Structure 1
């Protein structure tokens, strides 16, 4: 096939990828498998660590990437959503894919995508094309030692499940994407556990008994060794203060302490311990060499945008993408245990495709004033609809309905005193916009 070059700029290439968004989410692996065959199955030349879960996936990926890079390995990292630019999602050694490389790769895949669109399979989705681009970037451009590979949604039928990894990770299972993954935890757990491959070890921090049973059965059926938090490995918090948590790790073969992280929230200790256990598996199964000082430094230096991220000190302003009940519970715990303030002022924006009542019930009891706004995203929940939901929950504090998040952000900053705390939370699409405005003074790119 003659490869045409219809795209000459990053903006053109990105716009074409985003033009595939209307094809939606179509679970299944047929299209991605066929596309990879067209390129000679480049995924078979890569070594993956596959990460699934409702919350914590991105943080675990960040810990793994940072430690492995500190240890001298070259690492590709594929995550979603992106909150600054499209190339955030495809990193090599912690740096975004070069925009010129994206243009080259889009020109390579474009004719194959167009041919498939005209076949009975129909057009590949945006996420399928993004995943193909990531594999080509790692297999034909950067050649990393490892690829840290985050699922997009679920696991079993997620496009990323086209690979066979060195180790599979399931962080947790909660109430998210229930319209696609199932209406109870067991159903969602079965989808997440679908990343478990025959003979491939599994690291998991799932906690609910019914979810543990599903993951345990999936590992048993695949003859995969399961390393479960609370059984084969444990973590113990030793001390905590803002921007510093110290913990001990206890595994089957050794204990390591103290280990320090600078990401906030008790849940980040669990995420770090999951990453340490996965690194221990790589060390034992595949002779990966990680000196303890590199482990210590890698964990301590890890940061993850938009998750309990203090982006401003005057007034104090915290960003956290708590878009589901489990994320909101983690945020609420951190607000109670980690941060000190006189009054809490929150700006909140959500997407329309979620049940937000349980999320609100974690956050509202802590809030003094609430600004309800809207993300710049096609699936946004209107500020009016969200405010009505908040009223139904009996919130007694002050509520301001401001659909324009820019005006809402100005209002939030104006009412936050030097001893107060401002929090922007909800969908990561709102977090992306606010973060870019405060840190870069630019409009963000964002998407799934």
Structure 2
């Protein structure tokens, strides 16, 4: 029996040693022993390569504005582990987390003695979320973000009201496959029989795979730029404005606070999915709730402005598609300003293409490493860059502290691994506060 938060968290993290073990058998075993909390939940399932967290956020804030109590299960976290299991945007408290671990640990120990083997860290956390939302803190709706892939992801035991596939990119290729089509097949594994699926996937080969899976499951499918569209879009000083047209209704001049054209696509997925569920009377959502909810949507670490003067931005662009989106946003918004980029990444990513894109937009690019088992060395990242103004930095904390003070009209962008961003954000907030820089 654990009595402290640290003991509980240490036990969870110790399960990282078990690595990734795709499959649903262990989850099904635990759910059966817990009397099937997964079957007591009304849920929406969100998968894809990029954009999952933002889409979950838009769904949550609109549903909250509709009067619902909304649970979310997301990963990874940016500031605190507890973020992963939240209700109406408020993280689970330490006491409840300890309580959940004491419920799940005996099952994990028992499961470890079977031929299935012990559950992984992610499976343990997923089981905790199911039990929490069903038994400890009952909610009206739960939004489950897929951890990895879809078909064999531990969240995939749910029977949701709707499935959403945001995008397809070449990430985790050693596990999911090395083509868009192979990855799309894994992501499409969240499509359930007779359950609607909404997608913003534009890669034709990947989209055909998703459509094929939807047809085989008799699942209605709604595709961006086909079944619904964004006919108008413009950047605002602090956000984006856009319109959405669909068979369920048209909305002009919607606004979001998150930056980037890609966020309008994530928001449109949330809007159309909720319009459908409203029409089917699974949920009750009106236009005002959609407008207010979208404006309230906030997701940390995604083109997040930490200060305006000087302009400091963090963005967890951790794969090729994420970097493409970042570069597009920087080129559009800050074309007339010098852009300084600080980049850290995991060494098992396809780093050459990512760095080549950053080189194109950066007036200065600095590469750093950080304290994480899979982190790439700064020197190795420097070698991949073709920039004429590049450097490797051994100690990122002192470097960033010095850079922030020197900034004038330049834009400082810290990007790369989400694990890195989770370390950088609280550090930079402290530096900015101490320097009395406007936030």
TM-score by length of 2: 0.96
Residues 137-173 of structure 1: CA deviation (Å, up to 9, x unaligned):
1000121111011000100011111111110000010
User: Alpha-carbon deviation of 1:280?
Assistant: 1.0
1:217 maps to what in 2? Answer: 212
Q: Which runs of 5+ in 1 are unaligned?
A: 442-448
Distance 1:406 1:302 in 2: 30
8 Å Cα contact 1:245-1:262 kept in structure 2: yes
2:163 is matched with which residue?
Answer: 168
Q: Are 1:410 and 2:405 matched, yes or no?
A: no
Paired residue for 2:40, among 40, 45, 63? Answer: 45
Aligned residue for 2:183, secondary structure, equals helix
Q: CA deviation at 1:287?
A: 4.1
In the alignment, is the contact (CA less than 8 A) between 1:318 and 1:424 conserved in 2? yes
Distance across 1 between alignment mates of 2:334 and 2:231: 21
Residue in structure 2 matched with residue 245 of structure 1 by the alignment: 240
1:428 to 2:423 alignment: no
Counterpart of 2:134?
Answer: 139
Match runs of 1:37-186 below 5 Å: 37-186=32-181
Closer, same or farther in 2 for the Cα pair 1:287/1:125, shift >3 Å? closer
Segment drifting more, 37-46 vs 232-241:
232-241
C-alpha distance in structure 2 between counterparts of 1:206 and 1:238, whole Å? 19
In the alignment, what sits opposite 1:202?
Answer: 197
**For the Cα contact (< 8 Å) 1:47–1:166, is it kept in 2?**
yes
Q: Deviations over 1:326-350 (max 9, x none)?
A: 1111111110112365321111100
Cα offset, 1:221, TM superposition: 0.1
SS in 2 for 1:286: coil
The answer to whether 1:384 aligns with 2:379 is yes
Equivalent position of 1:323 in the other structure: 318
Can you list the C-alpha shifts for 1:258-313, whole angstroms capped at 9, x where unaligned?
21111111100111101101111211223422121111010011111000001123
Structure 1 residues 211 and 194 mapped into 2: Cα distance closer, same or farther (>3 Å)? same
Task: Determine the structure 1 residue equivalent to 2:256.
Answer: 261
- Rounded Cα–Cα distance in structure 1 between residues aligned with 2:400 and 2:20: 31
* Equivalent residue runs for 1:335-374 within 5 Å: 335-339=330-334, 342-374=337-369
- Measured in 1, the distance between the counterparts of 2:170 and 2:237 equals 28
TM-score, normalising length: structure 1: 0.94
Task: State how many pairs are aligned.
Answer: 432
Matches within 5 A, 1:4-15: 5=1, 7-15=2-10
Residue in 1 aligned with 2:387? 395
Where in structure 2 are there 5+ consecutive unaligned residues? 432-439
Q: 1:199 is paired with a residue of what secondary structure? A: coil
Partner of 1:446: none
Q: Distance in 2 between matches of 1:35 and 1:420?
A: 52
**CA RMSD, Structure 1 to Structure 2 (Å):** 1.4
- Once residues 326 and 220 of structure 2 are traced to their aligned partners in structure 1, the CA distance between those partners, rounded to angstroms, is 32
User: Are residues 341 and 420 of structure 1, via their aligned partners in 2, closer, same or farther at CA, if it must alter by over 3 Å?
Assistant: farther
Residue 415 of structure 1, CA deviation: 4.1
CA distance in 1, matches of 2:253, 2:309: 33
Report the CA distance between 1:50 and its aligned residue: 0.3
- Residue 119 of structure 1: CA displacement? 2.3
Matched, 1:280 2:264: no
- The Cα offsets for residues 214-235 of structure 1, whole Å up to 9 and x where unpaired, read as 0110000000000111111111
- The change in CA–CA distance for 1:238 and 1:387 in structure 2 (over 3 A counts) is closer
Q: How far apart are 1:439 and its partner, in Å?
A: 2.7
What are the Cα deviations for residues 56-77 of structure 1, in whole angstroms up to 9, with x where unaligned? 0000000000000111001000
Cα deviation 1:87-137 (Å, max 9, x = unaligned): 100010110011100001111111111111222222210000000000111
Taking structure 1 as reference, are residues 86 and 440 closer, same or farther at Cα in structure 2, changes over 3 Å only? farther
**Kept in 2: contact 1:264–1:338 (CA 8 A):** no
Q: For residues 4 and 14 of structure 2, what CA distance do their matches in structure 1 show?
A: 15
